[in-house]
Amino acid sequence: MTHPKRMTRRATLASPLALPAAAAAFAATPKKVISEDDPANLKIGHIMNWNVTDDFLLFCKQIGLKWARLMYHEEPDLERLRGIQQRFLKYGVRIYSGCHYSYRSLKVQLGQPGRDEEIEKFRKFLRIMGQLGIPAVNYDFHPANTYTTSFIEHRGYKTRQFSVKDFREKLEKPAFDREYSADDMWANYTYFMKAVLPVAEESNVKMALHPDDPPLAKMNGVAKLFVHYDGYKRAEQIAGNSKHWGLRLCVGTWMEGGDKMGKDTIGMIRDFGGRGKLFDIDFRNVSSPLPVFHETFPDEGYTDMYQVIKALRQVKFSDGIVPDHIPPLAGDTQERRAGLAYCIAYFKALLRRANEEVG
């Protein structure tokens, strides 16, 4: 009885029957993935108040959350903020950006007497962020917004809905004793930026500007500036193309505007991110563009959120990204721990896949 000759490894791989198995083995070889701690990687974080409990920080550590956007609305104080930073670090959570609502004062945003005192608080906060090595601050410029017209139930959870028709017919009313035109609001924004941007530059802190949510040109008698690509371009010109001015791109807000925003979300990432002008990302999905939308978890909605993460990695975005407006799940407290864990796990999966693909 004759026996078949033993096939060499080269002959085995050359065999047509062996090719699918060899390809499968090659595909299964794990790729080297960039570490979450690598400074070049995107930073998955969460928005946290300065007085968040130690128990919640422990929960964040347990789900592998390592970054925070700090919300601090007390009087800016270096030692107090240093203590907060150190307490977060005990749980492995690093603060990558901060927010102080002095910029939201109506004195600032409507150009009223007393605005310089409020602006000085923000300037002080900027200096402290620089002293603590926290690289960015967040701000917006949209007084008199109506964010929600109703809450609906979707997939068993309650979530925010906005309808232009309901807003115009049922909710819109003058917010102040007079209307504020686009020229008024640009003058107020310019005054604020001329006062704070030099301090940001001296402190080496980046200023991340949030778009107007929802993106309507005027609400309650006040014009809104950042509802279109052109508004951001004008703000960039006001900043003198400073490397310390850039975007806090709320992708959910940008999706709400759909094809009326001048550029879609991916286009914004490629434009501003490609020039190093993306500093922070709010990551959420929505059901559809205006005139009616409701918020969803990131794994549903009308946008493929993987493509957003992939585009961010393609432009080498390495700053922070946070879940935004997390809907409450059954049994959730105000901290929305279940929803947060759901979002963070999904973000991590998207990021790992994008890093594998983009390299």
pLDDT in tens, 140-193: 999 999 999 999 999 999 999 999 999 999 999 999 999 999 999 999 999 999
Output the domain CATH number for residue 353. 3.20.20.150
285 part of a folded domain: yes
Within 10 A of 16 (CB to CB), how many other CB atoms are there? 6
- Torsion angle in degrees (nearest 10) through CA of 120, 121, 123, 127: 140
340 part of a folded domain: yes
12 part of a folded domain: no
Within 10 A of 84 (CB to CB), how many other CB atoms are there? 22
352 part of a folded domain: yes
Position 31 confidence tier, pLDDT thresholds 50, 70, 90: low
Tally of CA atoms within 13 A in the half-sphere of 61 that contains its CB: 14
For the chain, percent of residues with pLDDT exceeding 90 = 87
pLDDT in tens, 72-128: 999 999 999 999 999 999 999 999 999 999 999 999 999 999 999 999 999 999 999
CA distances for 67 relative to 87, 206, 285, angstroms: 13, 17, 21
CA distance 139 to 160: 22
182 part of a folded domain: yes
pTM of model > 0.75:
yes
4 part of a folded domain: no
**Parent domain of 258:** 40-358
CA distance 67 to 321: 9
129 part of a folded domain: yes
Domain count, the chain: 1
Strand 292-296 relative to strand 278-283: parallel, antiparallel, unpaired? Answer: unpaired
198 part of a folded domain: yes
CA distances for 252 relative to 147, 257, 322, angstroms: 13, 9, 12
